[in-house]
Amino acid sequence: MSPMRLLSARPLLALSLCALVACHPASTPAAATGDAARAAVTDPAALRIQADVRTLADDAMQGRETGTPGFERAADAVVARFRALGLQPAGDGGGYSQRVPLLRATRIADGARLQVVRRDRTITLRFRDHFLTEPNVDATSTQLRAPAVFVAQGVSAPDLGHDDFAGLDVRGKVAVVLGGAPATFGDDRRAFHASRGEKLRALAAHGAIGAVFVDTAQDEANAPWAAQAANWDRPQLRLRDADGHGIDTVPQLRVVARVSAAAADLLFDGSGHTAAELARDAQAGRLRGFALPVTLSLAQRTQVAALDSRNLVARLPGSDPELAREAIVFSAHLDHLGIGPAVDGDTIRNGALDNALGVAIVLETARELHDARVAPKRSTLFVALTAEEQGLLGAQWFATHPPQPLAADINLDMPMLLAPTRDVVPIGAAHSSLQQSLQQAATALRIGVSADPFPEEAVFVRSDQFAFVRAGVPALYLDGGIVPAAASVGKRADAATVPRLAQREFLRRCYHQPCDDIRQPIQYPDAARMAALNARLARLLGDAARPPRWNAGDFFGARFGAAAASTPAASR
């Protein structure tokens, strides 16, 4: 799951939970060994998933960071499983690997500059303390000096009756912009317009030549400035085109920088406004842009290097010669965050839930479909994706370079299966006919279907399925359940029995940390049930006369679906 998951400042439940695995040794006999699920697992599917999670989340994989030997070892392990399952290779050149060309961009501190010039006074902000420049994959060294204009949240959404740029002259200027988007948009649209990529595109489209994002106190409650500043030299990745340039970058913006909440008022010097007041206006939905009485002088330097990673792609060919040309995709990202600062003496961010478990569920889905007597009529593709944590890059490459036309994507990312459940949460299904199909498959297997418990986090636009959506492919993000299993009813309510308590505790304590490892009480039987649901869904979608389709008038379908429908399948 990409780092944007914790969008909201929703407070975690103020319960003091003991460490998950040590809470109730009486109810989970293996808890003392730190692997509560192990003693209970007897179902063969659950055991296979457990074995795959153990392999992929092993310390030997070094946290599977894109571009590292650890990722390559994990990729080799997935290829070995595809081969053992008897699946057809669907990567490049008859193999299971699809090359994903990347650029790795690293900031250089020396040469980064942000100065605020007002009349004869110049304020120089300090790199790391006050500001960070964004790595620029298009130009290793750029600078500019231009008047500044505050463009509110930089959201241009005429279809939603909102345009932060109305009446502002942005051409040739540096845009100063707040994060977020109006709450009135609804969760998915708000998250879409709040994304950094959409904002950069809107700024460039309105003629800005530089951008300064201003943190609010609320932004930093979710992502503390100190943590970002400490990671200032962590590289960013972008997709690379055939000419060696970045894909989906915005070169018109010569320098993009970010300013801490503590330094924000320096930008609004002399404007009659404070940053805190503007953040309050944004919350209240009454924020307006205005010209700033200052000139900004900006410079950045970036070290850029080419890098290749890979997606792993396998196919179960469809059983109908016509429909087999289309594919239903099951995807899960394989990459994680590698080695990082030590926490309790552990530096390896193993990513057991995020997302060894998702990959393992996709592998078990493949096994179940492959071992059935007849394959679904449409083909089924099983994909382990790279560079999700770096911005859904592997998914974007796959969705725009698919081995065959794609009819739908079912994505698994970080199923938080830490207490027994009896349901699943299909996020984003309501945008398309996938909702009815998922409900039908779940009903047949007596699996409950629950609504997204955290809609304000808008995870539908924050994991790999969104790269498929952008390519016009109906998609859903299948997440773990939230309803306690029947066996938990009547037991003491804690993280061992109440899924949402366990999930909140995980997000607070282990998400993207070294403790997201196999010592957690991962519910492998629930994972096996998700795989069975996937297999049933693959058959429903694969055998249907028509492929899944966007709902009439859907926001994403209208925005992205039409382009895909009018594009010849062969060139998609």
E strand spans, 119-209: 121-124, 131-133, 141-150, 156-157, 162-163, 174-178
Mapped onto helix, strand or coil, the DSSP state of residue 395 is helix
What is the pattern of x (binds Zn ion, CB under 5 A) and - over residues 472-511?
----------------------------------------
In the complex with Zn ion, the residue whose CB is nearer, 391 or 542, is: 391
Give yes or no for a contact between 338 and 389, defined as CB atoms under 8 angstroms apart. Answer: no
* Nearest distance, CB of residue 413 and Zn ion, angstroms: 7
Stretch (H or E) spanning 323: none
CB of residue 53 to Zn ion, shortest distance in Å: 15
| Cβ 1 to Zn ion shortest distance, Å | 4
Complex with Zn ion: residue 279 or 361, whichever CB lies closer: 361
Shortest distance (Å) from residue 89 CB to Zn ion: 27
SS3 237: strand
Q: How far apart are CA 465 and CA 428, in angstroms?
A: 9
The answer to the question of residue 1 lying near Zn ion (CB under 5 A) is yes
Q: How far apart are CA 275 and CA 269, in angstroms?
A: 10
- Cα(446)–Cα(436) distance, rounded to whole angstroms? 15
Give the C-alpha separation, 535 to 365, whole Å.
5
CA distance 236 to 76: 24
Query: Rounded to the nearest whole angstrom, what is the least distance from the CB of residue 231 to Zn ion in the complex?
Result: 15
Q: Which is nearer to Zn ion, 6 or 90 (CB)?
A: 6
Cβ 63 to Zn ion, closest distance in Å?
Answer: 11
164: Cβ contacts below 8 Å, ≥ 6 apart: 151, 152, 153, 154, 155, 156, 287, 289
Which one of 63-71, 101-109, 229-237, 348-356 is the stretch in contact with Zn ion (CB under 5 A)? 348-356
271 or 465: whose CB is closer to Zn ion?
A: 465
Least distance between Zn ion and beta carbon 388 (Å) = 7
Q: Which stretch binds Zn ion (CB under 5 A): 141-149, 303-311, 346-354, 515-523?
A: 346-354
Q: How far is the CB of 333 from Zn ion (least distance, A)?
A: 8
Smallest gap, in angstroms, from Cβ of residue 392 to Zn ion?
Answer: 11
Q: Are 316 and 369 in contact (CB under 8 A)?
A: yes
From 254-262, 305-313, 347-355, 432-440, give the range in contact with Zn ion by CB under 5 A.
Answer: 347-355
Q: Which stretch binds Zn ion (CB under 5 A): 163-171, 235-243, 353-361, 450-458?
A: 353-361
Piece of the chain touching Zn ion by CB under 5 A; list 6-14, 135-143, 352-360, 379-387: 352-360
Structure tokens at 256: 């993009």
Which H helix or E strand runs over 503? helix 499-509
Return d(Cα 92, Cα 36) in angstroms, integer: 41
Coil/strand/helix, residue 235: coil
As measured in angstroms, the least distance from the Cβ of 486 to Zn ion is 31
Cα separation, 113 vs 110, whole angstroms = 9
| Residue 354 touching Zn ion (CB under 5 A) | yes
Q: Does 204 bind Zn ion (CB under 5 A)?
A: no
DSSP 363-376: HHHHHHHHHSSS--
Q: Which is nearer to Zn ion, 62 or 437 (CB)?
A: 62
Its sign, for the CA torsion 485, 490, 491, 495, is positive
Determine if 517 is a binding residue for Zn ion (CB under 5 A).
no
What is the chain's alpha carbon radius of gyration, rounded to the nearest angstrom?
24
SS3 category, 382: strand
Nearest to 427 by CA among 475, 471, 379: 475
Stretch that binds Zn ion, among 53-61, 82-90, 126-134, 350-358 (CB under 5 A): 350-358
Q: Which CB atom, from 187 or from 354, has the smaller least distance to Zn ion?
A: 354
Inter-residue contact 96 to 90 (CB < 8 Å): yes
| CB closer to Zn ion, 164 vs 354 | 354
Contacts of residue 569, defined as CB under 8 A and 6 or more positions apart, other chains included, come to 325, 326, 405
Q: CB-wise, 191 or 438, nearer to Zn ion? A: 191
- Which residue, 156 or 386, is less far from Zn ion as judged by CB? 386
**Smaller CB separation from Zn ion, 379 or 520:** 520
User: How many binding residues for Zn ion (CB under 5 A)?
Assistant: 2
CB under 5 A: which stretch of 65-73, 106-114, 264-272, 354-362 binds Zn ion?
354-362
Task: Give the CB-nearest residue to Zn ion.
Answer: 1
- Count how many residues are written for the chain: 572
Nearer to Zn ion, 483 or 507 (CB): 507
* Closest CB to Zn ion among residues 219, 354: 354
Q: Which residue number, 316 or 392, has a Cβ lying nearer to Zn ion?
A: 392
Give the shortest CB-57-to-Zn ion separation in angstroms.
13
Alpha helix ranges (H) inside 182-337: 187-194, 196-205, 217-222, 225-230, 275-284
Distance CA 529, CA 358 (A): 13
Nearest approach, Cβ of residue 485 and Zn ion (Å): 26
- Closest approach of Cβ 343 to Zn ion, in Å? 16
Q: Which residues bind Zn ion (CB under 5 A)?
A: 1, 354
